[in-house]
Chains A and B, each alone.
Chain A
Amino acid sequence: DAGVIQSPRHEVTEMGQEVTLRCKPISGHDYLFWYRQTMMRGLELLIYFNNNVPIDDSGMPEDRFSAKMPNASFSTLKIQPSEPRDSAVYFCASSYVIGNGYTFGSGTRLTVV
């Protein structure tokens, strides 16, 4: 298996622009997670899905963030409009079950200028 695949690896955008991050989980994994990593706050869970259904989005910072999982092999995290404080590394992870160790993608480094 190719693992969890994220794209793009790097994204630089101007404040106010829409940003879309993409993720392909490992085939057969029922859970998909979006995390954000910053120096100040470490790894934060934004939202997770089970069988393509959003279960908990309490970690999503505000209405500017939205996530979808239209099918078992694809998810997106969208920020509209983007702000400089959104600059971070965004990770997607997937798993068979919760709490047993997730497989992370390589991340998308987002810079909003």
Chain B
Amino acid sequence: GQQLNQSPQSMFIQEGEDVSMNCTSSSIFNTWLWYKQDPGEGPVLLIALYKAGELTSNGRLTAQFGITRKDSFLNISASIPSDVGIYFCAGQLPGGGADGLTFGKGTHLIIQP
């Protein structure tokens, strides 16, 4: 399948700091999705992006669909302890079925007291 490069792999931050993570690919995607996974649970959809250049917010979270359609970023402002978890990007290839939805390997967010 297609490869999504998600970075960073992990982040160690202080509470209150802003967070930024991104995903890039050599392929063009029609849709970018950002999920969060808490320990022992399944991924939960945070933000969905459907158009190149689209910038969408969900509370303290902001995500953008890159102009080239090959990348996306997620920002979290003023991090709080409950933001801890694994964040996944996922991209949907044009015309693809479910096998066209590719997940990144995830960014582990750890907040130090």
Which residues of A are interface residues toward B (Cβ below 8 A)? 4, 31, 33, 42-43, 45, 48, 55-56, 58-59, 91, 93, 98-107
Contacts and interface: CB of A to CB of B under 8 A. Distances in A.
A101 B48 contact: yes
25 contacts: A42-B105, A43-B43, A43-B103, A56-B97, A56-B98, A56-B99, A59-B99, A93-B42, A98-B97, A98-B98, A98-B100, A98-B101, A99-B30, A99-B96, A99-B98, A100-B31, A102-B45, A102-B101, A103-B45, A104-B42, A104-B43, A106-B40, A106-B41, A107-B41, A107-B42
Which 9 pairs show the lowest CB-CB distances between chains A and B? A104-B42, A99-B92, A43-B103, A101-B45, A48-B98, A42-B105, A101-B48, A104-B43, A99-B31
Contacts of B48: 100-101
Nearest to B94: A99
B66 interface: no
A111 to B, nearest CB: 14
A58 B1 CA distance: 11
Interface size class of B (residues with CB under 8 A): 20 to 34
Interface of B: 30-31, 33, 40-45, 48, 88, 92, 96-101, 103-106
Interface centre among B33, B44, B98, B100 (most CB of A within 10 A): B98
B35 to A, nearest CB: 8
A13 B82 CA distance: 34
